[in-house]
Structure formats: structure tokens, C-alpha cells
Amino acid sequence: MPDAEYSGTAGLLQLAELALAGPANPDTIEDNDTGSQTSLTQTLKSAVNTMTTKLVGLARGGSKGDDDDSSTDVVKAAQDLITAAENHYYYEEKALQLNFSVLNTGEHPVDEMHIEFGFPKIDDFDIADRIHISPFDKSSNPVNKNKDYPEVKRIDRGTIVRNRIGVLQPGAPTPALRCPIRMAVGPGAQMRKVAILYTLKRGEAVVGEGRLKIRFGKVLS
């Protein structure tokens, strides 16, 4: 578990305890280019290449009027399959899942609450813009699975994460995100302390803002 610091905003609302959850933490995340990731990638490429070879052979065995490049779509589909599988494996099996809690320190419910986080742009660090579903899992619907994932927008200086919280009841810590964000942490980001800016809004009015700091652990090679 990485060391974590947080700062709250005095008044009606403050950012409370930093909650880290997920199948792995930064102390145990492996390099994306080593270990089981490489093994999985090679297995996928071998399987997909075998399938592609057969499909390409069939595509080129069509009638004489067929275009010689009729297999292009097949090759692209195979490449997309590899990319989707790699993204699913990394972001769902290896990435750090992060969420925060928001606490209403007043005596009355507060509605129309939104929160926005600003993450800096640093090497070997990224935030998934959606939940990556395994291409081999035909039972999952990408739209339904992503309906609670926050809005993620990449800008030149970093990444903005936005989410609608809704109503905050007094004295009850509430998750700031309905679904934890997926953060990829590579060797270049190990032991880095990162400042995360946050803004709490009620409708269009800003009711709280501040900065959180988290420090990543050592990434195993």
C-alpha cells in the first residue's frame, strides 16, 4: 500500500479518507513488458496469427474477381483483438483501482453534487477512459458495464476525471466515484509523489477545492 496524504476543505464539505481498492497495489504491479503480460501477449498473438493465416488463405481463395487485399479487414480484426485483450488484462488485472470518499460535515443533505479531479501528465502513468472488457467474454455488454465509470478526458497537461455524486447525506462518507478509476503505474512512475487537484461543485457553484497527494510504491521488475 503506498503512503498517502490528503488535505480537506474546511466547511460544509471536505474530502475525507483516501480509499485504495483493487486486485493489485503499486507495490505489486509488474512492468507491462515483462512477466505474465509478455506470456499472455505471445499466447494471444500465436493464437490470433494462426486463425488469421487460415482466414487470409480462405479470403484469397475466392473468385477471380475478388480484390487481392480482401483480407485487410481480417488482419485488422485480429490486431484489434490483440489490443483489446492486452488492455483488458492490464487495466482489469494489473492496474490500480482508485476511489475517494466525500464527507458532508453539515447537518442537512446536499444535492446536485459533482466532483472533478485533475491528474498531472507524467511518464509511465495513465488512466483508462473506460472499463476494458475481455474480447473473449461475450456475456458482457460494454455499454452497461461502463455506465457507472466516470468521464475521463485527456488534455495536454494531464487527465480530467468528472463524476456526478448526487445527494450527500450528513455524516455519511460517500464514494466520490460510482466506479473506481483504473490507473496504470509503470516503472518510470515508481516512488513518485503525485498531486491530484479536486473541485467539488453544487450545480455550477464551487463549494470546495484542494489537493490530494499519493505516492506510488516500487514497481516489481
Rounded Cα distance, 207 and 2, in Å: 29
d(CA 188, CA 192): 9
pLDDT surpassing 90 at residue 43: no
Give pLDDT, residue 118: 95
Report residue 27's pLDDT band, with 50, 70 and 90 as the boundaries: very low
Q: At 107, is the secondary structure helix, strand, or coil?
A: coil
Is residue 4 pLDDT above 60, yes or no? no
- pLDDT score recorded for residue 203: 87
- Rg of the chain over Cα atoms, rounded to whole angstroms, equals 22
Beta strands in 3-106 (DSSP E): 4-5, 13-21, 96-104
Flag the least confident range among 40-54, 135-149, 180-194, 199-213: 40-54
Cα dihedral 57/61/62/65 (nearest 10) = 110
- Reported as a single tens digit per residue, the pLDDT across 115-144 is 999 999 988 899 999 999 888 888 888 888
More confident residue, 183 or 66: 183
Tell me the per-residue pLDDT of 45-71, one tens digit each, with 9 for 90 and over.
Answer: 565 555 545 544 444 444 445 554 446
Q: How many CA atoms lie within 13 A of 80 on its CB side?
A: 8
Say yes or no to pLDDT of 221 above 70. no
pLDDT at 93 over 50: yes
Domains of the chain: 4-29+95-215 (2.60.40), 35-91 (no CATH)
